[in-house]
Amino acid sequence: MSDIDEEVLRLQQVRKSYNLGRPNEVEVLHGIDLAVGRSDFAALVGPSGSGKSTLLNIIGLLDQPSTGELYLLGQATRAMDDAARTSLRGRQIGFVFQFHHLIQAFSAIDNVLMPLMLRDGKPDAGARRRAQELLDAVGLGRYADQPPNQLSGGQQQRVAIARALITEPALVLADEPTGNLDSQSAAGVFELLRRFNREFGCSVLLVTHDARLSAACDRTIDLVDGHIVSDQVTHSP
């Protein structure tokens, strides 16, 4: 993609090493170049140990590259301090994990509101309306006041998707979001991500070992031994 205004994310020659300067120094990512456009729905695949988790942590601004640069919405991030990086992450990136990490002492709607609580403090009436709308959209509107332990695994993952979308992020990172679900629930979660990608225009980067899910994405990025070995558009969005 040539127009940076059409990009949500760009990585330029990103490298990541651990134990820098020590005899056991190891480089995990080797000069990654990657661009994710607005409304992309892409799968990141690769064998265990290929560097997917490291790359996802860097893209999610949870870790920094050793060298290279990451641009989010055109903003260079490597020189940002922790506060600026945290603020940008909270506004522009939503996360869905294999383990939904819901807070059992909170209701479903308060779990959805959690990113806004962390960012802005006590949510106002407008935020609560938005959270209720998202729960309605994922088919759980009537369970808004239920604690997570009264929901099925698939329902809890739907709450996690609503939580990821509450900030209206430009990019959703989904790390094995269907890994703990049965096939029917997994298909439902995937379709929800696909639907919100289309309706809200948020880019989705989905890490998965499930070949069926990656084949249903519009683009597949294959990471092997810290190198992107292929990056193919498989479907027209």
CB 71 within 8 A of CB 10: yes
Domains of the chain listed by start with CATH number: 39-65+82-233 (3.40.50.300)
**Integer Cα distance of 117 and 121 in angstroms:** 4
How far is the CA of 82 from the CAs of 32, 41, 71, 86, in angstroms? 23, 28, 16, 6
pLDDT at position 162 over 60: yes
Q: How does pLDDT run across 48-82, given as a tens digit for each residue?
A: 888 898 999 999 999 999 999 999 999 999 999 99
What mean pLDDT do residues 146-166 have?
88
Cβ neighbour number for residue 204 with a 10 Å cutoff: 24
Q: How confident is residue 132, by pLDDT bands cut at 50, 70 and 90?
A: very high
| Residue 148: closest CA among 94, 103, 87 | 103
pLDDT at position 97 over 60: yes
Dmax over Cα atoms in the chain, in whole Å? 57
Model pLDDT, residue 20: 75
Predicted model pTM: 0.86
What mean pLDDT do residues 7-29 have?
88
Model pLDDT, residue 1: 38
Q: Which of 34-38, 113-117, 151-155, 178-182 has the least mean pLDDT?
A: 178-182
Q: Long-range pairs for 101-107 at CB < 8 Å and ≥24 separation?
A: 101/160, 102/148, 102/156, 102/159, 102/160, 102/163, 103/148, 104/147, 104/148, 104/149, 105/147, 106/147, 106/148, 107/144, 107/145, 107/146, 107/147
Model pLDDT, residue 203: 93
pLDDT at position 2 over 70: no
Q: Which of 77-81, 115-119, 169-173 has the least mean pLDDT?
A: 115-119
Model pLDDT, residue 236: 60
In the structure encoding, which two tokens stand for residue 110, read together?
């308060």
Q: How confident is residue 237, by pLDDT bands cut at 50, 70 and 90?
A: low
**Integer Cα distance of 160 and 100 in angstroms:** 6
Q: For the stretch 114-153, what's the b/e string if a residue is b when 16 or more beta carbons lie within 10 angstroms of its beta carbon?
A: bbbeeeeeebeeebbebbbebbebbebeebbeebbeebee
